[in-house]
Structure 1
Amino acid sequence: MALANWIETYIAAKDHNRPHLMAQAFLPDAELQMDVQTGIISFPAQSLGEAAITQVLVRDFGTKYENVYTFCVGERPQAHEANYRCQWLVVMSDKATGEARIGCGEYEWVADAERVGVQRLIIVIKHMEVLPPVLLAPILAWATQLSYPWTHATQIAVHMPNDPAYAAVRRYLLPTA
């Protein structure tokens, strides 16, 4: 497998609450670093080991959120690439409140092809918007129009609702829009 496959496996594990898939993507001694630049959501700054990463990004995350769609914005990494950076977009809903959430940031992936898996993941959360439950249906309708899990800024621009609630995410992902 290549880095693109490991990224897709991670997204499937997180978005569909399938913790058993994480061992297919991350090495046992993998490292997760989180740089959360918003007060809307919180994660530990660092998690060491696939089991700890799975707990944070799948099990704990899955207890709070549903209807999760995570997108990598840009081209899939090439088969030979061991390092990959991209922007990401997530849409989801809060299980307890029904509120819609839309967020974005950056991923930095470092793979170890010899050991066959992701060695380090850095996630930067730039924006996370909490929106009223009434906006969930339009957000999910928009998300299902995008290529998944790899999408392009042009697709986001074409399909993103023109609503002020999306302004920060729009400015970050589409700075020229």
Structure 2
Amino acid sequence: MITLQKSIETYIRAKDGNRPFLIADAFTTDAELTMQVNTQEISFPGTVKGAKAISNVLVREFAQRYENVYTFCIGEPPASGPAFSCDWLVCMSEKGTGLARAGFGQYEWLAAEDSGQVRKLRITIEEMTPLPQDRVQPILRWADALPYPWCPRERLGEGAPEIEAIERIRAALA
């Protein structure tokens, strides 16, 4: 049986690595995604239904705009049970502009008890800050050095670049 932890890790591999075929392993066929976007800096549909549509929105369309994506679940992986919530951090760059992006929010996962696959995911995006091109290298070097995809909160400060937006995001996730 697939565990919720494995489904979450598979989702992150699919999204960050532009591997849409993996979404079918992580989500039930009839899964539902809801998004609450609390920033003007990025947009997503409010609701997406079905693994195929989730794959299109969170992997295919996302990968058309972004690269060098690092998504971190902050804290420990789920121990057991079908429900799990955690904060997340993302660092990436925009393909079209070369700008850096850093953001954070929350994930709320609900797995199907019979399969461990995700049947509901709620993503809240609190911040998704675009940063100048000269910030890409330090942000991605920092992200590359963090434990992936599960990052303990206390490790977020290790090697963090001295960039106002990164300091603000780290403080929000503390």
TM value normalised by structure 2 = 0.96
RMSD: 1.0
Alignment of 1:42-81 (within 5 A): 42-78=43-79, 80-81=80-81
The alignment status of 1:139 with 2:139, answered yes or no, reads yes
Alignment of 1:3-14 (within 5 A): 3-14=4-15
Q: Secondary structure of the residue that 2:141 maps to in structure 1?
A: helix
Percent identity, please: 48
Say whether the 8 Å CA contact 2:82–2:116 is kept in structure 1. no
Shift of 1:170: 2.2
Shift of 1:159: 2.6
Q: Secondary structure of the residue that 2:63 maps to in structure 1?
A: helix
Residues 39-92 of structure 1: per-residue CA shift (max 9 Å, x gap): 0000000000101111100010000000000000000111x3210000000000
Shift of 1:158: 2.4
Q: Residue in 2 aligned with 1:36?
A: 37
Say whether the 8 Å CA contact 2:7–2:116 is kept in structure 1. no
The aligned length equals 173
The alignment status of 1:127 with 2:120, answered yes or no, reads no
Q: Residue in 1 aligned with 2:155?
A: 155
Q: Residue in 2 aligned with 1:164?
A: 164
Report the AA paired with residue 82 of structure 2: A
Say whether the 8 Å CA contact 1:2–1:113 is kept in structure 2. no
Shift of 1:97: 0.3
Q: Secondary structure of the residue that 1:44 maps to in structure 2?
A: coil
Any gaps of 5 or more consecutive residues in structure 1?
none
Residues 132-151 of structure 1: per-residue CA shift (max 9 Å, x gap): 01110000110011000000
Say whether the 8 Å CA contact 1:109–1:121 is kept in structure 2. yes
Q: Secondary structure of the residue that 2:156 maps to in structure 1?
A: helix
Shift of 1:152: 1.1
- Once residues 159 and 82 of structure 1 are traced to their aligned partners in structure 2, the CA distance between those partners, rounded to angstroms, is 34
